[in-house]
């Protein structure tokens, strides 16, 4: 119990709420990089997945991307990003973390976008074509809206994973909430470690919940409901 009292004291200590190592600044840092990385990955993977899904090709790629992605540990991705970032002259800290997070976010977003478009009923697509819609209209007017909730499921899985892995950015010289855990370990300050873990876990769960709400809203507006099983099969980080 004494320990939890210490943790509470850590959170109420005003020193931990100020400056660049304070909770607000570290949290913002964590959210900003995670959001940036997820958006860049979505910008790349959603169009690719949707286009391939529309054309019906690349099913094998969609499956392999996820399987390969699962076998490569997030920790390895972030560690391997370091030498490449340094060689490219981007240095340590922000860039290796950012690169690793984008790479990790791509597979779930790509595969879910692909599957989402594939799972739009062929009868619906045929009906749209029969009504004289062009391919572009079928894609943008029919397939995309119906696939939207499932695409969002992919982005949710990726975002949760990105928030989790950003914690490891502290090991390649970046800030974020992982700093509390990593620095706490190195000075054997269990209170700081535990407090950092609470903040990271809360942020990951909050991300998951916010996206679930968004998915539900999208699904209620007429999309296919994102069934959770394939997406949830992603690994934690």
Partner 1 sequence: MPQRAFLATEPLIRWGWIWDHLDEIRIQTVEHFILTGIAVGIGFAIAMGLSIVALRFRRTYGPVTWVTGVLYTIPSLALFAFLVPYTGLSRLTAEIGLVSYTLLILVRNIVAGIDSVSPAVREAAVGMGYSRTRLFLEIELPLALPVIAAGLRIATVTVVGLVTVTSIIGQGGLGLFILDGLRRDFYTPLIVGSVLSVVLAVVMDLTLAGLERLLSPWSRAGVAR
User: Which of the ranges 15-23, 105-113, 120-128, 162-170 carries the binding residues for partner 1, by CB under 8 A?
Assistant: 162-170
For residues 106 and 110, give the distance between their C-alpha atoms in angstroms, rounded to a whole number. Answer: 6
**CB 87 to partner 1: min, Å:** 6
How far is C-alpha 28 from the geometric centre of its chain's CA atoms?
Answer: 16
Instruction: Choose which of 76, 131, 210, 220 interacts with partner 1 (CB under 8 A).
Output: 76
Q: Does 168 bind partner 1 (CB under 8 A)?
A: yes
Instruction: Choose which of 44, 48, 86, 133 interacts with partner 1 (CB under 8 A).
Output: 86
Q: Does 214 bind partner 1 (CB under 8 A)?
A: no
* Cα pseudo-dihedral 148, 154, 158, 161, rounded to 10: 130
9: which residues sit within 8 A by CB, 6+ positions away?
191
Q: Does 185 bind partner 1 (CB under 8 A)?
A: yes
**CB 182 to partner 1: min, Å:** 7
Q: Does 100 bind partner 1 (CB under 8 A)?
A: no
For residues 21 and 103, give the distance between their C-alpha atoms in angstroms, rounded to a whole number. Answer: 27
Q: Does 237 bind partner 1 (CB under 8 A)?
A: yes
100: which residues sit within 8 A by CB, 6+ positions away?
74, 77, 78, 80, 81, 165, 169
**CB 132 to partner 1: min, Å:** 37
- For the chain, helix (H) and strand (E) counts, in that order, are 11, 0
Q: Name the helix (H) or strand (E) containing 25.
A: helix 23-55
**CB 51 to partner 1: min, Å:** 26
**CB 64 to partner 1: min, Å:** 12
How far is C-alpha 158 from the geometric centre of its chain's CA atoms?
Answer: 3
How big is the chain, counted in residues? 237
User: Which of the ranges 8-16, 70-78, 99-107, 121-129 carries the binding residues for partner 1, by CB under 8 A?
Assistant: 70-78
Site residues (vs partner 1, CB under 8 A): 3, 70-76, 79-80, 82-83, 86-87, 89, 91-92, 160, 163-165, 167-168, 171-173, 178, 181-182, 184-185, 190-191, 193-194, 196-198, 200-201, 204-205, 208, 229, 232-233, 235-237
């Amino acid at each position: 119990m004494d320990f939890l009292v210490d943790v509470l004291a850590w959170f109420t200590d005003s020193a931990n709420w100020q400056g660049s190592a304070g909770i607000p600044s570290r949290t913002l840092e964590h959210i900003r990089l995670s959001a940036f990385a997820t958006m860049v990955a979505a910008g790349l993977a959603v169009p690719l997945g949707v286009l391939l899904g529309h054309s019906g090709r690349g099913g094998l790629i969609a499956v392999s991307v996820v399987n390969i992605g699962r076998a490569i540990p997030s920790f390895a991705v972030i560690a391997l990003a370091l030498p490449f970032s340094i060689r490219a002259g981007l240095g340590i800290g922000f860039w290796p973390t950012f690169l690793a997070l984008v790479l990790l976010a791509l597979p779930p977003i790509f595969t879910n976008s692909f599957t989402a478009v594939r799972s739009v009923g062929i009868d619906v697509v045929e009906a749209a074509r029969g009504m004289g819609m062009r391919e572009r209209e079928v894609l943008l007017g029919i397939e995309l809206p119906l696939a939207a909730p499932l695409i969002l499921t992919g982005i949710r899985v990726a975002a949760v994973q990105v928030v989790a892995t950003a914690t490891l950015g502290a090991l390649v010289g970046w800030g974020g909430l992982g700093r509390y855990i990593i620095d706490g370990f190195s000075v054997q300050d269990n209170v700081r470690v535990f407090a950092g873990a609470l903040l990271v876990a809360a942020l990951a769960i909050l991300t998951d919940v916010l996206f679930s709400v968004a998915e539900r809203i999208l699904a209620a507006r007429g999309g296919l409901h994102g069934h959770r099983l394939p997406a949830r099969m992603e690994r934690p980080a």
